[in-house]
Amino acid sequence: MMPSRTVRLVVICLVLVCTAGCDQVTKHLARTELGRMGDSRLPGRFIEFTLAENPGAFLSLGASFPQAARSALIVCVSFGLAFLLAYLVRAPRLRSVSFLGLALIWAGGLSNLFDRFARDGLVTDFMVVRVGPLHTGVFNLADFAIVVGVLMLVASSCVAPRKGAFPQAEKGASG
User: Tell me, what's the pLDDT at 163?
Assistant: 55
Q: Are 126 and 34 in contact (CB under 8 A)?
A: yes
Length of the chain: 175
User: Tell me, what's the pLDDT at 170?
Assistant: 42
Q: Is the pLDDT reported for residue 175 higher than 60? A: no
Nearest-angstrom CA–CA distance, 50 and 35 = 9
Q: Find all residues with CB under 8 Å of 57, minimum gap 6, and list them.
A: 73
Burial classification of residue 33, based on how many CB atoms lie within 10 Å of its CB (0-12 exposed, 13-18 middle, 19 or more buried): middle
125 carries an active-site annotation: yes
pLDDT in tens, 162-172: 554 444 444 44
% the chain with pLDDT above 90: 57
143 carries an active-site annotation: yes
User: Tell me, what's the pLDDT at 160?
Assistant: 64
Per-residue confidence band for 64, with pLDDT thresholds at 50, 70 and 90: confident
pLDDT in tens, 90-133: 887 888 999 999 999 999 999 999 999 999 889 999 999 999 88
Nearest-angstrom CA–CA distance, 130 and 30 = 19
Better-predicted residue by pLDDT, 6 or 3: 6
Better-predicted residue by pLDDT, 114 or 62: 114
